[in-house]
Amino acid sequence: MTSTSRPSAPHLYVGVAAACLALASFGCSFSDSSKSISDSVNHSSDSSGKSSDSSSSSSKDKQSAFADDVVQYTQAYVQAGGSAQSFFDGVGDLARKRGVSDWEAADATWISIGRGLGMTHLSDAELVAYEKAWAAGNSERMAAIQRGVAKVR
């Protein structure tokens, strides 16, 4: 099914002109199902209710979406030079948008923070400073953060 064909020149010009006209009229906006009765049920990949549905990404993958976002956020935050103090405001925002309320209680959150830290170019000393600041004396959180760091360093 591989294809690397280019569109023929006359076809391309007519198509580009038509697409430009249409784009000029309505731009890149596009409709969604947000006013459709389809949103009365879930249409994400793993919403079928079939636990072994091979056509979908696994439930485990989807449940870890928040954890994955925390990894990416931690990395982006530290690389932008963020201080240790305001970091958790961002975690709270991420959690709120994904329907997670008690993110502190989940070990996975702290492991993700560790993974994000481990993916930065921090020196070992800087890394330890972040770990201590964010664990705030809680040995379980510190251990989880360090487990996350160890997964990627």
Partner 1 sequence: MRWALLALVLISGSSLARAEPSVDYLYIRANEGGSSGGHAAIRFGEWTFDFQHADGLLAMRRQDSGRFQYVYRMLENRGITLSRIEVTEDTYARLRSTFQQRFLVQERLDGIGKQVAEDVRVLEALGAGQQGGLPLEGVGFFFAEGATVPLEPVARAPAGSEPALRALRDRIEADRGPDALARRREEALAALAKLRTAPMDVGALAPDPRRWPLVEATFSRRYENALSALFALAELEALHPLRDDALAHAMPGDVGPALDPGEVARLREAAAALTGDLTRLSASARPDWGGAMLLGMARLCALDASIARGRLVLLDAYSTAAQTLPLTSRRRALLPALTREAEAQLDGARARFLAGSGWDEASFRELEEAGNHWIELRAAGARAGSSGRRGLRVEPGPLWPHAAARVEGLPAPGDPTPLAERLAAARTSAARYRAAMERVFGYDLLRRNCVTEIFRTLEIALAGSDRAPDDDLARFVRDESARRLGGYVHPTASGNFVPFVSSARVRARYAVREREDLPGFREQQVAEMEVREGRLRVALRESNVVTATAYRPDEQDGFFLFFTEDAGPLRPLLGALNLVAALGRSAVGLLALPLDGGRGLRAGLEGAFWSLPELAFQSVRKGTNEWVPPALRPPPG
Q: Which of residues 31-90 bind partner 1 (CB under 8 A)?
A: 31-51, 54-57, 59, 61-63, 66, 68-69, 72-73, 75-77, 79-83, 86, 88-90
Distance in Å, CB of 113 to partner 1, minimum: 14
Distance from C-alpha of 114 to C-alpha of 86, rounded to nearest angstrom? 17
Work out the burial of residue 101: count CB atoms within 10 Å of its CB; fewer than 13 is exposed, 13-18 middle, 19 or more buried: exposed
Distance in Å, CB of 123 to partner 1, minimum: 19
Interface with partner 1, residue 124, by CB under 8 A: no
Which of 10, 25, 123, 124 forms a contact with partner 1 (CB under 8 A)? 25
Question: Tell me, what amino acid is at 8?
Answer: S
Interface with partner 1, residue 150, by CB under 8 A: no
When the beta carbons of 82 and 142 are compared against partner 1, the nearer one is 82
User: What percent of the residues of the chain are helix, what percent strand, and what percent coil, each to the nearest 5?
Assistant: 60, 0, 40
R_g of the chain computed on alpha carbons? 23
Distance in Å, CB of 59 to partner 1, minimum: 7
Q: Which of residues 127-146 bind partner 1 (CB under 8 A)?
A: 136
Distance from C-alpha of 98 to C-alpha of 62, rounded to nearest angstrom? 11
The region of 14-22, 125-133, 143-151 touching partner 1 under the rule CB under 8 A is 14-22
Distance from C-alpha of 52 to C-alpha of 80, rounded to nearest angstrom? 41
Q: Which of residues 101-120 bind partner 1 (CB under 8 A)?
A: 101-102, 104-106
When the beta carbons of 24 and 125 are compared against partner 1, the nearer one is 24
Distance from C-alpha of 106 to C-alpha of 143, rounded to nearest angstrom? 13
